[in-house]
Amino acid sequence: MTDTRTRLLKGAVWIALGSMIANGIGFLNTIIMARLLVPEDFGLVAICAAVMAILLSLAEMPLSETLVRHDAPTEEHFNTVFSMSFARGLIVGGAVAALSYPVALLYGDMRLQNILLVMAGSFVFAGLANPKLALFERELVFHQVVLMKVGEKLFGTIVAITLALVFRSYWALVLGAVASDVARIVLSYVFYPFRPRLTFSKYREILSFSIWITLGTWIQAMNWRANPLLFGAVLPTNILGQYSFGNRITNVVIAQLNQPLQRTFFPAFSRVKNDRQKLVSAYKRVQGVACLWIFPFGFGLAVVAHDLVALVLGEKWMPAVPVIQIQAIILALQATVAIQPIAMATGDTRHLFFRDLRAFFIRWPLILLGMYLGSASYYGMLIGALIGGAVAVVINIIWNMTLVTQIAGIRLREQLQLALTPAIAVAFMTLVVWLSGSLWEKPPSVPLEAVRLVSLITIGGMAYVAAVAALWQFNGRKAGPELEMAQLLKALFTKASKFRRTS
């Protein structure tokens, strides 16, 4: 267990370093795209991305997760996963190409056809992904994965910014994403050389694990990815673009910080899946760290969103501020429970399907109700839908915690306590930032505005750390997420110091 914990901490350090770099690149890319393009460009791409996501979900299977969880995967398993991934790419790519013209007709914009045709070709190529990368995750060795993530993000950003500067077109968003996909596939074989062979000999074994997750993915796509399709059908493209941009910002800052951390959960839980006591201990430890890590970024972004957008992007993107605020809080709250990795590690994938089905029937009626209540204006419909989705997230979080209780025997009260300290700390942080901003009036020049924003962010970070430290001291300095987080940060700073000395 000590070896697993050490590897997990090292993996978390690499993920933290990689996330900061990749998120910085992604944030810069999004800001530059917003400055060079218009909301309508983001709206067009959002519709196509939603179509892609839904069609992809129909052929989605957790192939690499199967290899991570398998006790002893063979070459036949890796070749079968490669073959299934390539077949999926051909099927989804062909379906997207076939539907490109009908979708363009449905939305009354033929530009969508060409965008979808390019995305279709990109997804066929993405089906060639190297299955051997699962070995890195299986052994809790993440530095190659992080380097690959940074590399693909950097290449896609360079392509996107170059095209945006030259053409000022939505094609910068499309081809930038395609460039990232191409870089990911190429780098996957650079970091782990592998000569695949087409075979489906192990497909039954792989499907036996993945079938419930596959069914759940279909529901997830309709639940979480269909928003742009609905919004695009009833809202003007420029308002859809505000929604898409707000989503991009929150994903860069919050989701991309949370997702890599979540990737360590599944392999860590898989190693102790047969020992219930160790599994419970591992879940409490990593889930507590996740809340401490994500909460300040989510709620902090919501607090400074108005000043950030006004300073960096200008008036044309101000309608995206409430989108950023609501989505940031939603993503922070979702970090309070890790039902997906623990259910997959223990093989309780059936629970995930019914979770996704339940979430669908809770979320969409609340979204439609929100749109109805806000129907006095197009923008009101958007905000109403987001608020309805936020209410659904809170309901589903509690329900997911009950599933963790069923799977691992961790009581609801224990799970809520994991989020108590970060919740109190972010409340204090929010109050401090709000009071500081109220007392510090907005300055007349852009450089002083930047100083004010950076100062508020710094004050907020210091307030959060001080609140967490005070609560830990008040609780008797018990071993827990606070200590784990301190060790993680210490390891991160040590790694950064070594990197500076060698560079």
How many Å apart are CA 452 and CA 388, to the nearest integer?
33
From the CA atom positions of the chain, what is the Rg in Å? 23
pLDDT at residue 280, rounded to an integer: 87
pLDDT at residue 348, rounded to an integer: 75
Helices (H), 337-445: 339-346, 349-373, 378-408, 412-418, 420-439
pLDDT at residue 495, rounded to an integer: 59
- For residue 169, which phi and psi values (nearest 5 degrees)? -130, 160
Are 175 and 163 within 8 A, CB to CB? yes
Over range 316-328, report the average pLDDT: 94
pLDDT at residue 12, rounded to an integer: 60
Minimum mean pLDDT among 4-8, 92-96, 113-117, 413-417: which range? Answer: 4-8
pLDDT digits (tens, 9 = 90+) for 43-95: 999 998 888 877 766 656 656 666 666 667 888 888 888 888 888 889 889 98
pLDDT at residue 82, rounded to an integer: 87
pLDDT at residue 339, rounded to an integer: 82
pLDDT at residue 231, rounded to an integer: 85
Asked whether the predicted pLDDT for residue 270 surpasses 90, the reply is no
pLDDT at residue 204, rounded to an integer: 75
Are 51 and 58 within 8 A, CB to CB? no
Global pTM exceeds 0.85: no
Q: What is the mean pLDDT of the chain?
A: 83
24 or 114, which is more confident? 114
Over range 326-352, report the average pLDDT: 84
pLDDT at residue 59, rounded to an integer: 57
Q: What is the residue type of 268?
A: A
pLDDT at residue 491, rounded to an integer: 63
pLDDT digits (tens, 9 = 90+) for 176-205: 999 998 998 898 888 888 888 888 887 777
pLDDT at residue 319, rounded to an integer: 93
pLDDT at residue 1, rounded to an integer: 47
Share of residues in the chain with pLDDT > 90 (%):
36
Report in angstroms the alpha-carbon separations of 257 from 21, 59, 288.
11, 27, 15
How many Å apart are CA 388 and CA 371, to the nearest integer?
8
Asked whether the predicted pLDDT for residue 256 surpasses 50, the reply is yes
Over range 238-257, report the average pLDDT: 85
pLDDT digits (tens, 9 = 90+) for 446-487: 888 999 999 999 999 999 999 998 998 888 877 677 777 776
How many Å apart are CA 322 and CA 424, to the nearest integer?
23
Helices (H), 108-170: 111-126, 134-138, 143-167
Minimum mean pLDDT among 302-306, 428-432, 440-444: which range? Answer: 440-444
How far out from the chain centre does Cα 171 lie? 23
Are 79 and 87 within 8 A, CB to CB? no
Nearest to 153 by CA among 177, 128, 134: 177
How many Å apart are CA 363 and CA 388, to the nearest integer?
7
Domain boundaries, the chain: 2-496
pLDDT digits (tens, 9 = 90+) for 474-483: 888 776 777 7
pLDDT digits (tens, 9 = 90+) for 291-319: 888 999 999 999 999 999 998 888 889 99
For residue 102, what are its two tokens? 């009908």
Torsion of CA 79, 84, 85, 89, to 10 degrees: 140
Over range 29-39, report the average pLDDT: 90
pLDDT at residue 118, rounded to an integer: 95
pLDDT at residue 45, rounded to an integer: 92
How many Å apart are CA 379 and CA 243, to the nearest integer?
10
153 or 134, which is more confident? 153
pLDDT at residue 315, rounded to an integer: 85
Nearest to 153 by CA among 16, 25, 15: 25
How far out from the chain centre does Cα 266 lie? 15
